[in-house]
């Protein structure tokens, strides 16, 4: 390891990732995870009774969160916040994490996706326009919702629900 190697590290991202990873421990020690789970489960009412409705609502929530927070932070935050809720309703936290990683990757607006921004900047904005990518973003969202809904029987057979 050299000085240049240390300079090349994205320390902001490393710090953010470390904080997000430690949030699960902080939440469990303080009881915040149980408190949030009780409040969200109560507010969701019958939604948790239907597995399909739960995973579709989770995907839609992830799309909404991605408008405010980039996917690198949104997926862990959603997973940490909603894993206790899912566990309380008999859904494995892995399902929450999987849906969060997929659904927080929307690119309805250019700033939402770092991959989109890298492609746009890397091609000098000459390869595509946002108007050209918007139908793809909408299709991605639609097929994400369809995929998570259709995955429920497989997840049940795997014992994750």
pTM: 0.70
Please choose, from the candidates 100, 115, 109, the residue with its C-alpha nearest in 3D space to the C-alpha of residue 138. Answer: 109
Mean pLDDT of 74-99: 84
What are the b/e assignments for 84-97, b being 16+ CB within 10 Å? bbbeebebbbebbb
Give the pLDDT confidence score for residue 47 in this predicted structure.
59
Domain borders along the chain are: 11-157
pLDDT at res. 39: 65
Residue 33 has a pLDDT of 64
Q: Which residue has the higher pLDDT, 9 or 138?
A: 138
Question: What's the whole-number mean pLDDT along residues 3-28?
Answer: 73
d(C-alpha 105, C-alpha 70), whole Å: 8
Structure confidence by residue, pLDDT tens digits, 43-81: 555 555 688 888 898 899 889 888 887 777 788 888 887
Among the listed residues 22, 83, 74, the one whose alpha carbon sits nearest the alpha carbon of residue 54: 83
């Amino acid at each position: 390891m050299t000085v240049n190697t240390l300079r090349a590290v994205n320390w902001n991202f490393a710090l953010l990732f470390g904080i997000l990873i430690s949030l699960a421990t902080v939440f469990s020690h303080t009881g915040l995870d149980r408190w949030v789970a009780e409040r969200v489960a109560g507010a969701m009412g019958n939604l948790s009774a239907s597995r399909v409705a739960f995973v579709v609502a989770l995907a839609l929530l992830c799309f909404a969160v991605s408008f405010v927070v980039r996917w690198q932070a949104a997926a862990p935050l959603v997973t940490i916040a909603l894993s206790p809720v899912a566990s309380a309703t008999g859904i494995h936290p892995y399902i929450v994490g999987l849906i969060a990683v997929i659904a927080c990757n929307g690119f309805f607006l250019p700033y939402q996706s770092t991959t989109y921004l890298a492609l746009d900047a890397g091609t000098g904005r000459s390869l595509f326009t946002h108007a050209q990518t918007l139908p793809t973003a909408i299709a991605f969202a639609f097929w994400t919702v369809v995929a998570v809904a259709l995955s429920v029987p497989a997840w049940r057979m795997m014992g994750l629900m």
